């Protein structure tokens, strides 16, 4: 597609359930990023992919969070045993190769609410 | 880590007014960007501005890296300028891991 797409747009789940969030980057972009936007923490980095590898997972808040990328394209962020503090907007971005001066293109986000 | 502070936190303008948003850094920064998040949550890159001044239509940005700040100027504001403006920096080397500022929420009224 023309831009970064994310699904679902909104997700409501019960505490303790697992959720999967999907990101489709711009075709040809090797770099893919996940960020989280919450009221208390602002916009924070979660994980970076270069191709299918994740050289930096330092932003993942706990071992309940994991992510993978397959075929150098689609990425899935999985949150296991969700907690109420996981409620946030999860944003995905992609850039051509991950260089420091490149433009990151953001998707519309997935709004997650954990009840 | 490096702190990124933005001011003012909130700003209300009448359509047609000009404004200046500021971004301060706790350490030196070489890779500075400005983003706009519209009321529907979409984040759009406005400028990559590690130093100097750039202009794009009614928007312009200036970064003085030696003094650790950047400014975003909005002239003749329009209601479509409403949203949240973020500055963000990334490391000098390696991949572009963005650290976002606290944001300035702008409301332009007709």
Specify the range with the lowest mean pLDDT, choosing from A18-32, A64-78, B16-30. Answer: B16-30
Instruction: Sort out which chain B residues have CB atoms less than 8 A from A109's CB and list them.
Output: 41
By CA distance, what is B48's nearest residue in A?
A: A101
* B28 pLDDT above the threshold of 80: no
Whole-angstrom distance, CA of residue A37 vs CA of residue A75? 18
Tell me the two tokens of residue A115. 């009840």
pLDDT grade, residue B11 (50/70/90)? very high
Q: What is the pLDDT of residue B2?
A: 67
Instruction: Sort out which chain A residues have CB atoms less than 8 A from B52's CB and list them.
Output: none
Which of B45, B95, B97 is facing A103, going by the closest CB pair? B45
- Per-residue b or e along B68-107, where b marks 16 or more CB atoms closer than 10 Å to that residue's CB: ebbbbebeebeeebbbbbbbbbbeeeebbbbbbbbbbebe
Report whether the peptide linkage leading into residue B8 is cis, meaning its omega lies within 30 degrees of zero. yes
Q: Model confidence over A50-100: pLDDT tens digits? A: 999 988 888 999 999 999 999 989 999 999 999 999 999 999 999 998 888
Q: What is the pLDDT of residue A41?
A: 77
Residue B65's SS3 state is helix
Q: Model confidence over B46-75: pLDDT tens digits? A: 999 999 999 999 999 999 988 999 999 999
Better-scored residue on pLDDT, B25 or B7: B7
Among residues of chain B, what percentage have pLDDT more than 90? 77
Contact partners, residue A5, CB within 8 Å, separation at least 6 = A23, A24, A107, A108
Better-scored residue on pLDDT, B94 or B65: B65
By CA distance, what is A48's nearest residue in B?
A: B97
* B25 pLDDT above the threshold of 80: yes
SS (H, E, C) A38-102: ECCCEEEEEEEEECCEEEECCCCCCCCEEEEECCCCCEEEEECCCCHHHCEEEEEEEECCCCCCC
Quick one: which H or E segment has residue B67? none
**Inter-chain CB proximity A45 and B98 less than 8 Å:** yes
Quick one: which H or E segment has residue B75? none
By CA distance, what is B89's nearest residue in A?
A: A100
Q: What is the pLDDT of residue B1?
A: 66
Which of A44, A89, A98 is facing B41, going by the closest CB pair? A89
Instruction: Sort out which chain B residues have CB atoms less than 8 A from A105's CB and list them.
Output: 45
């Amino acid at each position: 597609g023309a831009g970064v797409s994310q699904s679902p747009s909104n997700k409501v789940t019960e505490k303790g359930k697992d959720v999967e969030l999907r990101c489709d980057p711009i075709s040809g972009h090797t770099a893919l990023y996940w960020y989280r936007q919450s009221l208390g923490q602002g916009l924070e980095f979660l994980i970076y992919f270069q191709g299918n590898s994740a050289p930096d997972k330092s932003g993942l808040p706990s071992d309940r969070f994991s992510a993978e990328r397959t075929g150098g394209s689609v990425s899935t962020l999985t949150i296991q045993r969700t907690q109420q503090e996981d409620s946030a907007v999860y944003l995905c971005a992609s850039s051509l190769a991950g260089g420091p001066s490149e433009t990151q293109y953001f998707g519309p986000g997935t709004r997650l609410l954990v009840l | 880590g490096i702190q990124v502070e933005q001011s003012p936190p909130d700003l209300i303008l009448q359509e047609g007014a000009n404004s200046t948003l500021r971004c301060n850094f706790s350490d030196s920064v070489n890779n500075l960007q400005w983003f706009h998040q519209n009321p529907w949550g979409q984040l759009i890159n406005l400028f990559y501005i590690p130093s100097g001044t750039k202009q794009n239509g009614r928007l312009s940005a200036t970064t003085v890296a030696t003094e650790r700040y950047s400014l975003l100027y909005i002239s003749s504001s329009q209601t479509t300028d409403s949203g949240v403006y973020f500055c963000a920096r990334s490391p000098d080397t390696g991949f572009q891991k963005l650290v976002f500022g606290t944001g300035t929420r702008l409301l332009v009224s007709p």
